[in-house]
């Protein structure tokens, strides 16, 4: 059933109050087909958890919320397990279920907001793990033809917070399910410094995947505001990838610039560090601002307009470019 003039405040983690002229949910491919058959709008927006989006105005079109559920083990042996998951499942709930079943590989991605369907779209990652590390394939519905296509890892063309669905196939497909391959062994990735520090502070020398998850949850909770309490979309900016010449130039002034190896001989800089050095961390502008514990996170304290948050992000980008010669890129989708 398609509803009209629906407020989307509860459907985006920034808590921005805008209206969609038409709105519907779907719980299956058949549902989706039926809704699209009644479509009268040229503009279409697919929503999952609404955690990577900033609305700057009302949406004059049809918003479809993906609520396809499902958790199916399609292969399991002594070493690995493959799980097909509905795109409308909550990502963190899926992670917790895997940990309960002792399936290893995504515990470092605990507490990331959003839906399962969004995970390959932007190749979500945290604390040394990315979706591409556990991804097998996904099923996606082609909006114009109504046909379902299976995409392999290679066809998804994963990059840093990127995939083919944010580039060539943007707005052409709706992801309906994702298949992941996890480990049956309890191998853990605790190499990320903050995780190791958290484990050591709790006297854990031989961590389980549950220990890793608990550490990640504690770290994220200490740095990132809960969207249910303060509107936000998590990391607003990508960590910039630059040439080593840019890093060398920065190191002339800032000796201890945080940096990490990146493909093609480049380096990844910490966007949060750059924003903090530019003096934006904790800055409040009216009823919105930059979070006090994590400069990567822009926040809506109460009833801010999306345009106001977008303007703030532009000011930060311009300031960081001027001060450091590095241009930040938004990770959040602007609508």
The catalytic site residues sit at: 161, 235, 331
Q: How many angstroms separate the first and last alpha carbons of the chain?
A: 24
Q: Going by C-beta distance under 8 Å and a sequence separation of 6 or more, which residues neighbour residue 62?
A: 2, 20, 21, 22, 23, 24, 39, 40, 41, 43, 44, 45
Angle at which helices 91-100 and 209-223 pack, to 10 degrees?
Answer: 150
Q: Which of 124, 54, 113, 59 is nearest to 312 (CA)?
A: 54
Angle at 185 between CA 179 and CA 189, to 5 degrees: 85
The dihedral region occupied by 264, where left means phi > 0, alpha psi between -120 and 50, and beta the remainder, is left
Please report, for the chain, how many H helices and E strands are present, in that order. 9, 20
- Using CA atoms, how far apart are residues 335 and 328, in angstroms rounded to an integer? 19
């Amino acid at each position: 059933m398609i509803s009209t003039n629906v407020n989307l405040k509860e459907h985006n983690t920034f808590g921005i109050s805008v209206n969609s002229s038409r709105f519907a949910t779907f719980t299956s491919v058949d549902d989706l087909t039926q809704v699209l058959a009644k479509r009268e709008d040229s503009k279409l927006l697919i929503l999952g958890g609404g955690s990577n989006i900033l609305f700057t105005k009302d949406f004059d079109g049809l918003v479809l919320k993906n609520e396809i559920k499902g958790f199916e083990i399609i292969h399991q042996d002594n070493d690995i397990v493959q799980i097909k998951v509905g795109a409308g499942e909550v990502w963190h709930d899926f992670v917790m279920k895997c940990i309960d079943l002792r399936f290893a590989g995504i515990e470092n991605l605990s507490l990331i907001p959003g839906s399962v369907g969004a995970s390959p779209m932007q190749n979500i990652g945290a604390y040394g793990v990315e979706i591409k590390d556990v991804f097998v394939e996904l099923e996606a519905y082609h909006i114009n033809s109504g046909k379902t296509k299976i995409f392999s890892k290679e066809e998804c063309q994963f990059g840093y917070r990127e995939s083919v669905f944010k580039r060539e196939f943007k707005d052409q497909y709706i992801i309906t399910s994702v298949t992941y391959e996890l480990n049956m062994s309890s191998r853990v990735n605790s190499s990320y410094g903050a995780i190791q520090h958290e484990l050591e502070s709790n006297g854990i020398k031989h961590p389980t995947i549950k220990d890793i998850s608990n550490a990640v949850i504690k770290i994220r909770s200490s740095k990132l505001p809960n969207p249910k309490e303060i509107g936000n979309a998590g990391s607003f900016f990508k960590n910039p990838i630059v040439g080593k010449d840019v890093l060398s130039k920065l190191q002339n002034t800032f000796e201890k610039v945080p940096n990490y190896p990146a493909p093609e001989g480049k380096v990844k800089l910490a966007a949060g560090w750059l924003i903090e050095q530019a003096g934006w961390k904790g800055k409040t502008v009216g009823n919105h601002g930059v979070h006090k514990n994590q400069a990567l996170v822009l926040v809506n304290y109460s009833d801010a307009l999306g345009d106001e948050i977008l303007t703030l992000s532009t000011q930060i980008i311009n300031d960081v470019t001027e001060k450091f010669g590095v241009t930040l890129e938004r990770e959040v989708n602007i609508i």
